[in-house]
Every structure is written in C-alpha cells, then in structure tokens.
Structure 1
Amino acid sequence: MRKSARSRAEELFTATQKKDKQVLKDKEKAEREIAERMAKLRALRLAKEAADKEAAGEVAAEKAAAKSTNPRLPQAHRR
C-alpha cells in the first residue's frame, strides 16, 4: 500500500524539524566553545599584561635605586 502524499509530507517535515534542531544544537555548541576559548585567551593575556607591568615596575625601581646610589665626590673636589 502506498503512503498518501500527506503522510509523506508529514514525515519529511518531521525529519526536517529534527535536522534543524540538531543543526541549532551544533551551532550553539560551536559558539559556546569559541566563547570559552576567547575567555581563556583573554585571561591569559590579562595575566601576561599584569606580569609585564609588574616586571616593568621592578626594572624602573632598580633603575631609580641605581641612580640614587651614585658615588659622590667629596666636597673638596666639587666646584
């Protein structure tokens, strides 16, 4: 017995809806993975920037300390 056109159309419609749901799930999963990866990279970048800023502050402090400890000539030799 042949299926009616209506039942075939309903089967196709149901299959299409199921496929659409799966595509949406896959798309949402991909978007979530991208967002997680971006958050991870952002955290790494911010940590690196903080470490670089701290290192730059240490270098500046060392330079300032080295500058302030310059040996001075005795007053008799100054003019």
Structure 2
Amino acid sequence: MSVRKPAESSPESVARANRKRLTAEEGARAMAEVGRQAIEIRKNMARLRELRETREAAVASRLASLPAPASKKRARKLPR
C-alpha cells in the first residue's frame, strides 16, 4: 500500500478539486444573485405598497368630501 504525499497529485484529483472549487464559486455567485433579486423585489413591493396606500387615501378623502347618499326607504311587502 502506497501513501501519497500531498505534493503528488494525480490529474484526476486535480480535476476533482478544480470542479469542486468551480462549483463552490458558482454557488456563491448564485446565492449573491438571489440575495440581490430579493432586495429588488422588496424595494418594488414597498414602492407599490406606497402607491396603493396613496391611491386608497385619495379615494377615501374623495368619498369623505361627497355628501352622504340619501337612504332609500324599503318598500314593505304586503302579506298575501
């Protein structure tokens, strides 16, 4: 049984280590991209929420400024 020294690396082990390093780098880039997208989504949601709340406030103030509608009397049904 032969024990290899760390300096002696076979081409297969070098290739495996290289693939592992590339995979780790790609994973880190993917996680960073997901983080950036999540931040962009939260910013957009906050912007849309602000627009919706502004629109709802404008509608509420417009409705509040209108006179109250006159209530209609319901016609009673006559018994048969």
TM-score in terms of structure 1 length: 0.70
Q: Aligned to 2:29, which of 26, 30, 33?
A: 26
AA of the residue aligned to 1:31:
V
The answer to which structure has the higher helix fraction is: 1
Secondary structure (helix, strand or coil) at the match of 1:20 reads helix
RMSD over aligned Cα atoms? 1.7
* Divergent runs of 4+, >4 A: none
Query: Structure 2: any 5+ residue segments left out of the alignment?
Result: 1-8, 70-80
Query: Equivalents in 2 of 1:16, 1:51: separation in Å?
Result: 52
Could you tell me which residue of structure 1 aligns to residue 38 of structure 2?
Answer: 35
Give the aligned partner of residue 4 of structure 2: none
The equivalent of 2:50 in structure 1 is 47
TM-score normalised by the chain length of structure 2: 0.69
Structure 1 gap segments, 5+ residues each: 1-5, 69-79
Letter in 2 for 1:17: K
Amino acid in structure 2 at the alignment position of 1:50: E
Tell me how many residue pairs correspond in the alignment.
61
Matched ranges for 1:51-62 at <5 A: 51-62=54-65
| Identity over aligned pairs, percent | 10
